[in-house]
Amino acid sequence: MRPIIPLMPELPEVEVTRQSLVDRIGGAVIESIHVGKPLRWPVGIDVDTLTGWSVGEISRRGKYLWLPVAGNGAKARRSGGFLIHLGMSGSLGFSNGSQPAGIHDHFEMVTSRGVLRLTDPRRFGAVIWGDSLTEGMPAKLLAGLRLEPTDPDLTAAYLHARLKGRRVSIKQALLAGDIVVGAGNIYACEALFRAGIDPRLPAGRLSRPRCQKLLDEVRAVLGQAVAMGGSSLRDFKDTHGSQGHFQLATQVYGREGQPCRICQKSVRRLTQGQRSTFYCANCQKK
């Protein structure tokens, strides 16, 4: 069996991180911030100036997390936040800080409620300051993001119109991110299988009814992945330190040569755009 390249944290993993953190750090007061080895981009602020600021409610946009903070006392009118990306191998942890930072912990925020750490062995992640989501570097990074999978504007008619005339495969169209964000490789493979759509089908040939079926399955797969804590194929853990389990429930992903759970034919693997695609040629039709 050919090796599988582990995936970076995708939308479900980022959403799991948000959910495991939102009720724990909100309202905390920053006591200190420590920055380790450089990440993908500079933080962009003197972190010492944020001591005494309060943490707001963490949110998500695509695969980015936004951790807002606001000044207190004389600085009460000042606010901003950190845009966080987990990169290829990153994860956030939130604990009482009893353990010292490790060699791969490159951002640490000590608060009145606990210590937030970004652990990132490959250092492709990022923690970037912005005065708001619509200003500076955060605005630039988020500008190209399209609809969220749960966005009511993401309809079968919208998808069908955006795919019209495209010759690229439907799998690659899903991964491109210029229609919908968050349908990463493992989840695109699973959604296409559940929708009965061959991943090699030219995107422009997908009918409107099949667009609806695909959207339904994308949402179902991502929802199941979040409920199962995401996929831990390499380094990902939530902020409690727990691994995800969706990788144990996949129908086709990572199952090359194994029997399809529906028809018992062998699951196949091919490479599309330098990504491994797993599918059942019997169950998924062009």
Residues labelled as active-site residues: 9-10, 63, 275
Strand partners, 172: none
| Cα 275 → chain centroid | 17
Q: Which two tokens stand for residue 180?
A: 């919908």
> Distance between CA 177 and CA 203 in Å, rounded?
14
Which residues are CB-contacts of 89 (< 8 A; sequence separation ≥ 6)?
8, 120, 121, 122, 124, 125, 234, 235
> Distance between CA 12 and CA 15 in Å, rounded?
5
80: phi then psi, degrees, rounded to nearest 5: 175, -150
Across 202-234, b (16+ Cβ under 10 Å) vs e yields ebeebeeebbbbbbebbbebbeebbebbbbbbe
